[in-house]
Structures are given as structure tokens and as C-alpha cells.
Structure 1
Amino acid sequence: MSLGSRIFRREKIDRYLETDKKFAKTMSAFDLIALGIGAVIGTGIFILPGTVAATKAGPGTILSFVFAAVVCSFAAMCYAEFASAIPVAGSAYSYGNLVFGEIIGWILGWALILEYVLAVAAVSTAWGAYFKSFMTGFHVNIPASIVGPLDPAHGSYGNWIAIIIVLFISFMLSRGMKASVRLNNIIVVVKIAIIILFIIVGAFYVKPTNWHPFMPFGMKGVFAGSAAVFFAYLGFDAVSSSAAEVKNPKRNMPIGIIGTLIIATILYVGVSIVLTGMIRYTNLNVADPVSFALQVVHQNWAAGIIALGALAGMFTMMVTMIYSSSRLIYSIGRDGLLPKFLGKLDKNGNPIHSLVTITIVIAILGGFVPLDQLTNLVNIGTLIAFLAVSVGIIPLRHNKEIENNQGFEVPFYPVLPIISAILCLAMLTQLPAETWIASIIWFGFGLILYFGYGMRHSRLNDPNNVD
């Protein structure tokens, strides 16, 4: 077999379904939406509407969020069809293996590892700093030496609060998804309630004159704002990682993925409408525009509630991403491209080895490594996955193993998947050069790992598994 034939071998859908049926199927459509909202709605909802209004779009930021949601919805529908047709763990990694071949699946898996690990590590660092600030309001002083970068020469010994929260979330997930989902759902409801509270309170202080001019920077500003807020929606794709643990995935996966995007859009647009109505957009270029707006109208009592909402937002985001990354690592280990012990489930149907492994990596990065310059890599990893899933709908429709898919299908096929792929390419071109350089290094290391280990240990070396 030639090298080209070997690296483009495709997995069998039946084997994935057979292996992943060991997962406990406990999740409903509501659980999926809560996971998705947990990932998508973070601290950004309290910051982006203000800063984008001030610097790019004015009150037209409202339209910016709508346009960004439309772009994301194309990719979301492609994910929904894949998750409905192929309810397996691993998200875009598994989809790539099935429709493109092993090397493409590996690249997508490597991109998703980059997305999940860096996203959680960066947010855990921010959570530690935010928690310290929050506790100061209760006159509890957490030493700065344990909530900062590792720099012993200057009395800083790492962000131990970040490490503790990552370990706590992983412990929670290790107890099983049923209990974890219940807690996540409660915190998501609290988070949404806090956002709605701001919208209701702020609505009483809206002055319609603040919406004029509505588009001070023209449509160009609205589209620039749309590009800036596009990344606020990233995270809904993590929902697809849970497909193997969902009751009635053909019905519930599309509801979870598309429902997440619709609810997130309503919340982002609602905050944007109220915020730009409360305060003149030119005054919103501050670090915490929502808290600032409440202070201007003398509603200081709500500032602490907003801080609690920010902590809740970061917490649920970490829950979803740690959960998704453990399923991703499990999927790659299941296929032999990483050590096979990572692809094992315990007696309760939890991928405990992959969860422990990814927790250690995230805790070290979040606790001791400065990530400020690396967070843009989250965007490139996500967009590469979006691009592949969008294009992948075409070979998926021609796959004879699933020709009787009776679940969700992308409308206006093949036009909509092609438009989605083009939009993803356009967004990739907007990323800075240093992001591309760092990603090339990351993917270069990944290819070395694949050719040095993964290709030789792949389960596709077993003739019974070859498509």
C-alpha cells in the first residue's frame, strides 16, 4: 500500500457506533443547549457589545451580532447534519476520519486539541484573577502570589486558583455526566437570569437618542464589528462531541446545536440594544462597559451581580470545553493515533484516562504558562474545523453507509455548505501573521507525531477495519 493510500484510509461508521455505544446515553436536548450556552456565553457578553460599539460599529453593533450569527449558523447546520447522521464522540475529528481519511481526521483533531486546551487554560487563568477580585469585595484577600504567572524572582508562584478550579471541574465530570450536567444546567440558568436582569434593569434607563446615528461608521463599520464579534459565538461546535451520550441524537443534536446559536444571538442582541441605549456609544470603550453603564445610572448594587455572572460564564465554558476535550482525546486513543489507554472507558462509561490526561495539561498551562499571545490560536483551530465540516457535507451525502439518514439535513444543499466554507476561509484570512506562524509550528509538530507514532499504531492497520 502506498503512503498516500495509507494516510487517506477511511474509518467505518459501524465500528465507531459499536465502540461508542458503551457510553451512557443520558443527555437531553435541554442538556445540550445548556452545554452550548455554557461554552458560547462567557465574560464576552459583558464586554464585546460595548467595546465594539465604541470602536467599530456604534449602535449598529446590534446588526453586527446578527450578521455574525448568520455566518455561524451555516457552519452550525453542517455540524447538526453530521451529529445527526453520525452520533459518535470526537466531533470534527471523527467526521474527518469518516469522510476524508485518517490524515485529515488527525489534522482536525490536532486543531481541536489546540482550541480546547488553550481556551480552557486561558479562561482558567482569568477565572482565578476574577475570583480574587470578587472575594476582595467580601474583604477576603487572596495573596497575589498564588494568582499570577510563575515568577518566583518577583514573589509569584503560579495561578493556583486556576489549577484548583480545573481540578474541581474534572473531578465533577469524573463522577459521571448525569450529576455534572445537572450542576452545569443550574449555573447556566443563573447566568442567563443575570443577563436578563441587566436587560430588564437597563431598559428603564434607555434613551432612544443614544441610538442616533445608528450606524455612525456606515455598513463598513457594521461588517468590521461583525468580524470582531464572530469569535464570541465559537464554542457551539463543542456540543457535537457529546453525540454518543445523547438520547435520540437524530432529534436532539440539531436542537442542541442550532438552539444554542439562537439563544446566544438573542442574549447578545438584547445586551447590545440596552447597553447602547443606556450610554452614548462613544463612552463605552472601557474594560467593563456593562458595569460602567450600571454605575452611570446609579445602579451600583448590580455590579456584584454582574461579577457573579462573569464567574458563572467562565465556569460553564470550562465545563463544556474540558468535557469536550476529554471526548476528543478518547476518540483519538480509540483509533490508536494516541496511546490506546486514552481510548478506554471505565465501568460507568466515562473516558477517565483521557479526562485525567487533559486535566493535567490544562492545569499546568493555566497555572504556570503565560497564554496572552497564544489565545488567537483558538480561533484558527476552530475555523479549520468549521471549514472541514462545511466541505465534508458533500462527501457525507454520498456515503452509502448512511444514505438512509432520517435526521437533520442542511437546507439548500450544496450551496449553503459551500457558502459556509467560503466564509470560513474569509475569516481565516483576517487572522494575524503571528497566529499563522504559531499554528504552522503546532501542526508541524502534530504531523511529526502522526507519522512517528499514529500511522504505525492506527487501528486501520487491522484489515478488518479498512473501508
Structure 2
Amino acid sequence: MRTKSIEATLHDAERPATRLGRTLGPLQLTMMGIGVTIGGGVFVLTGTAAANYAGPAIAVSFALGALVSALVALCYMEFASSVPVAGSAYTFAYVSLGETVAWLIGWDLILDMTMGAGAVASGWSQYVADFLATFGIRLPSSLAGPEAAVNVPAVLVIVVLTAVLAAGVRTTARINTIMTIVKLAAIVLFIAVGLFHIDPANWSPFIPASRSLDGSGDVWQQPLLGWAGITTNASFGTAGILTGGAVVFGAFSGFDIMASSAEEAKRPQRTLPVALMATVVVCAVLYVAVTLVVTGMRNYTELDTAAPVTAALTGVGADWAVRIVGIGAICGLTTVVMIMLLGQSRVFFAMSRDGLLPQWFAQVHPRTRSPRRITWTLGLTVALMTAALPIQDLAELGNIGMLASFVVVCVGVMYLRRSRPDMQRGFRTPWVPFVPVVALLLCLLLVGSLPLITWVRFLGWMAAGLLIYVCWGRRNSRLAKTESAGPVHSAEAVGSGTRHG
């Protein structure tokens, strides 16, 4: 299996035509992580996951997701600080497990971030509609919200944010920082107001009784482990907490996207580990707090909406807070969509730079140092998907893609510890192999808790990606061309990588 050396990877990142600019400082990077992490989980998925899977115990689902994220983040920290190159898990797989695995994970990450951005954009549209409704302006349900035939506001926000990303990462970071501050202020306000409107009766039962999904009409909604007879085919109960954890796990994807921006960070060996772990800890505390408040304010059976936070405030008559929190939610979801679009463009960019996708996409603008070609291509693709797919399908497809990439990162850390013990590491994951193994097992538990239909769609996407790789990517990758050029050219390529590494 072809494996790209770390030295060659670092060398390729310095080629002038495809080199990204290092402009992100520690504050910008941390705010970017919080900006993309706090958003979809709080403002969108909290309600649907509580109503359909776990009830008030969705707080436990978020806590489980935080635990898994913290363990996986420790693995990401070693990779990101040692190989600070665009591409995240794709790049990490290329230098550890080989080109075929790297391609599949890259293809998988595109699915993860594309669907994640689409899901959050759908929620953004609902919040905009609710916010305008407080002023008496009501958008037609056929044009805005999760039931719309074509979700026009969601499509428009994706197009606008794509234009912002094309302007360069420096502009993106500034806008993200401002909106993230507004978002955090809105969350604090919601918690403060919500605490005075909690009805403990809404938390009873905290873990609703398990409901069977054995009916033939629901077979595709059964979790994979339940379908295989390993766990109970049910929503709510213990199985519902696990499924809820798998659904909301995408809310912790911030550190993965931060890793994909490692090539644009200043002194990544120092700033990335601190920013990654700070993001997970801060966001976990806020997620659990908001989840407990929102399920305490309103019964979980009434939260199956794309805008549960403002719905909870409306339900208790706190209309004055709806507008303020609504502005924060809109800003918050905007940053999530924007940074997810940024992350997917960097993964696609890295794959194009390696020749696994057309290298035409890997050219960066000489002034902004941003990959405008791929940014616009992917942005318009996400807009089309958002117009066609419902929020539930978008969220579940995104999460299964992310969990699969986490599995590869955990395995990659253990592999490189054995194959490259001499490699200089900016951060070392503690207690290897214990931490990667536990993280790996928890990821498998969560991914197995996703519905069978999500697995079918995911495997179909991966099969299409494998076909593209076999027919095109395998023969056109830069690594394949280096090998076919002969030993002299291969030695030169490795030598150049060593000098720059």
C-alpha cells in the first residue's frame, strides 16, 4: 500500500502555487473551534434528538459525545502538531495507513462536512423565519424551514458564505470572531432566562421508557447494532441515549475542522493542542447546560423543531428574549456553516494537491492565498444538497462520516508510534494505546447506533468514492507518478521532503 512520507507531505505544503498562508493566531484558532462547535448542537439538534431519541436524557448523550470527543481530540492533537498540513484525517491517514485509506477518509470527510453544513443551514433558515415572525413578517413555509420544497434562505446563506471564504481566511476569521462573541452572549442570556422557567416535571421521566422499532415500516430506522441483534431495536431508553449521542456527536466536530486548518495556523505545534482541548471542554459544558435548560422549559415531546431554543422561550412567554437569542442563534449558526464550508474545502484542496482529485482545484489565489476554485465548487454543491434533503438525513449522514474518520485517526496514532517512534511530535497523546483504543471502541459504539438507512446511504457514497479512486485517482496521484518516474526521481522527491521537514 502506497504511503506518503511525512517529509514529502511537509514539502508539498510549501510549494508556492498551492501554499496556504499561515495567518491564524491562537485566539483566532480557538474562536474558530468554538464558532463551529457551538451552534448546530445547541440551536438545532437539541430538540430533534430529544424528541425522537433520548428525551431529557439527551444531556447524557451530549456528555457521552464530549467524552468520546476529548479522547479523540488527544489523538488529533498529536497528528495536527506533528503534521500541520491541510486535510485533517485525510492527511493523517496518508502518512500512516496509506493512499487507499486516505482517499476513502478524504471522500468520507467531504460527506461529513457537506452534510453537516447543509443540516445547520436548514436550522439557520428556521431561526431566521422565527426571528422575522416576531416582527410580523412570516415567510411562506414552502420557501423557508425544514418542510420547504426548496429552502431558499438556507441556499442563499451558503452562497453568501462561500463568497466570504473565497475572500481569504483572514476575512473569514474576523467575521467568525465577531459572530462567535455574539453567539456566546446569547447562550448565556438563554441559560439565565431559562433557569427561571424550568418546570422539573418536564424532566420526568428523565429517561423515557424504551419504544420498540420492530414494526416493518420502521426497519430502516433501526440502529445497526439493534438490527444485528446486539442491542435493543428501540428509541428512548438506553438505546435511545446511544442513538442520540451518535446523532448529536456532529456538534463536537470543531476540533476536526480546526485540524484541517493546521496549515494556516501560526506556530501550530504550540497553539493547536491548547486550542483543540479548550474547544472540547468549553463546548461540552455549554452543551449540557443548554440541553438541561431547554428540556426543563418545555416537554421533550414538543421539541421536534429546527429551532428548539427560541421555541422554548416562546413556550414560556419570554418573547422579549426570543429576538435577542434569535440574533445570537443566527450568528452562531452562520459561523458553523461558514467554518464547515472552510473545512471541507481544505480537505478537497489537500486531495487535489496530492493528485487524487484534479489538480486544477489546488491552485490558490495569489493575493488572498485561498483555494477559490474548490471553494466555489463545493459551496454551490452544498447549496443544491440543502435544497433537496431534509435536516434529519443531512445530520445523520454527516455524523457517520465524521465517526469513521475518527476511527482512522485513532488507529493511525497507534500505527505511527510503532512505525515512526523517532518522529518529532509537537504533542504526544498520553497513555497510548489505552486512550486511542477506548476512543476507537466508543466511536464504534456510536456509529453502530445510527439507523440502518444511514449506513446504506453511507456505504453507497463510499462505494462511489472507491470507484472514482480506482478509475482515476490511483493512476493520477502525485505519489503514483513519482513511483513511475523511477528511483532517481523518487529519491529526489524524498530528499526534498527531508530538507523541508
Could you tell me the TM-score, scaled by structure 2's length? Answer: 0.81
Q: Deviations over 1:7-58 (max 9, x none)?
A: x211122222223243211112222222222222224314655666677666
Match of 2:404 among 384, 394, 412: 384
Q: Is the 8 A contact 1:64 1:223 kept in 2?
A: no
Q: CA offset at residue 109 of structure 1?
A: 0.4
Task: Return the match for 2:42 from 20, 30, 45.
Answer: 45
**Matched AA of 1:178:** R
Q: How many residues matched?
A: 452
Displacement of 1:420: 1.0
Q: How far off its partner does 1:102 sit?
A: 0.4
The equivalent of 1:124 in structure 2 is: 121
1:15 aligns with 2:8: yes
Partner of 2:190: 198
Matches within 5 A, 1:105-124: 105-124=102-121
For the Cα contact (< 8 Å) 2:242–2:446, is it kept in 1? Answer: no
Computed over aligned residues only, the root mean square deviation of the Cα atoms, in angstroms, reads: 3.0
One-letter amino acid of the counterpart of residue 202, structure 1: G
Q: Quote how far apart the aligned CAs of 1:385 are.
A: 0.2
**For residues 295 and 125 of structure 2, what CA distance do their matches in structure 1 show?**
30
String of CA shifts for 1:311-351, please: whole Å, max 9, x gaps: 22321111111101111111011011111111222213211
- Tell me if the contact between 2:55 and 2:208 (Cα under 8 Å) persists in the aligned partners: yes
- Superposed, 1:339-354 pairs within 5 Å as 339-348=358-367, 349-354=369-374
- Give deviations 1:260-312, integer Å, cap 9, x for gaps: 11111111122234345556x56765535543543454322112223323322
Q: Specify the alignment match of 1:362 in structure 2.
A: 382
Matched to 1:115, the amino acid is: D
Gap regions ≥5 residues in structure 1: 1-7
CA distance in 1, matches of 2:330, 2:56: 27
Q: How far off its partner does 1:455 sit?
A: 0.9
For structure 2, which runs of at least 5 residues remain unmatched after alignment?
211-235, 484-489
Percent identity over the alignment? 35
Alignment of 1:21-36 (within 5 A): 21=14, 22-36=19-33
Q: 1:217 to 1:138 in 2, by over 3 A?
A: same
Q: CA deviation at 1:390?
A: 0.7
2:90 matched to 1:93?
Answer: yes
Aligned equivalent of 2:443 = 424
Q: Distance in 2 between matches of 1:188 and 1:266?
A: 16
Query: Retained in 2: the 8 A contact 1:40–1:232?
Result: no
Alignment of 1:173-252 (within 5 A): 173-206=165-198, 221=237, 224-225=240-241, 227-234=243-250, 235-236=253-254, 237-252=256-271
- The correspondence of residues 187-336 of structure 1 with structure 2, limited to 5 A, is 187-206=179-198, 221=237, 224-225=240-241, 227-234=243-250, 235-236=253-254, 237-278=256-297, 285=303, 287=305, 289-336=308-355
Q: Which moved more, 1:229-238 or 1:70-79?
A: 229-238
1:278–1:169 CA distance, 2 compared to 1 (3 A): closer
Could you tell me whether the CA contact under 8 Å between 2:72 and 2:406 is conserved in 1?
yes
Distance of aligned partners of 1:421 and 1:285 in 2 relative to their CA distance in 1, 3 Å threshold: same
- 2:101 pairs with 93, 98, 104, which one? 104
Structure 2 match to 1:80: 77
Q: Please give the alpha-carbon distance, in whole angstroms, between the structure 2 residues aligned to 1:372 and 1:209.
A: 28
> Which amino acid counterpart does residue 448 of structure 2 have in structure 1?
T
Higher mean C-alpha deviation, range 424-433 or range 125-134: 125-134
- The letter of the residue matching 2:452 is A
Q: Which moved more, 1:206-215 or 1:24-33?
A: 206-215
Whole-angstrom CA distance in 2 between matches of 1:283 and 1:93: 39
How many angstroms apart in 2 are the aligned matches of 1:143 and 1:13? Answer: 53
Judge conservation of contact 1:56–1:222 (CA < 8 Å) in 2. Answer: no
Deviation, structure 1 residue 163: 2.9
Alpha-carbon distance in 1 for matches of 2:263, 2:459: 32
2:220 counterpart residue number: none
Change (3 A) 1:225 1:344: same
The answer for the alignment partner of 2:415 in structure 1 is 395
Q: 1:3 maps to what in 2?
A: none
Residues 139-164 of structure 1: per-residue CA shift (max 9 Å, x gap): 4455666548999xxxx6x4443332
Contact 1:43 1:314 in 2 (8 A): yes
Corresponding residue of 1:4: none
CA contact (8 A) 2:116 2:395 kept: yes
**More displaced, 243-252 or 292-301?**
292-301
Q: Which residue of 2 aligns with 1:409?
A: 428
1:137 aligns with 2:130: no
Preserved CA contact (<8 Å) 2:93 2:102: yes
Distance (whole Å) between structure 2 residues aligned to residue 109 and residue 86 of structure 1: 16
Tell me the equivalent position of 2:221: none
| C-alpha distance in structure 1 between counterparts of 2:389 and 2:302, whole Å | 31
Q: Is the 8 A contact 1:90 1:241 kept in 2?
A: yes
Q: Kindly indicate whether the alpha-carbon contact (under 8 Å) linking 1:337 and 1:458 is maintained by their aligned counterparts in 2.
A: yes
Q: Which string of whole-angstrom CA distances, capped at 9 and with x for unpartnered residues, describes residues 382-441 of structure 1?
A: 111010001110122234396221x22211111110111111122222122222222222
Is the CA contact 2:56–2:300 (under 8 Å) kept in the aligned structure 1? no
Offset, 1:252 = 1.2
**Cα distance 1:145–1:209, how it changes in 2: closer, same or farther (>3 A)?**
closer
Partners of 1:13 and 1:401 within 8 A in 2: no
Amino acid across the alignment from 2:70: S
Residue from 64, 67, 82 that aligns with 2:64: 67
User: What secondary structure, in the 3-state scheme, does the structure 2 residue paired with 1:189 have?
Assistant: helix
C-alpha displacement at 1:187, in angstroms?
0.6
Cα distance change on mapping 1:55 and 1:383 into 2, 3 Å = closer
Structure 1 residues 67, 359: closer, same or farther in 2, change over 3 A? Answer: closer
Contact 1:52 1:225 in 2 (8 A): no
Cα distance in 2, alignment partners of residues 269 and 379 from structure 1: 19
Q: Are 2:146 and 2:391, in contact at CA under 8 Å, matched by a contact in 1? A: no
Question: Which residue in 1 is equivalent to 2:158?
Answer: 166
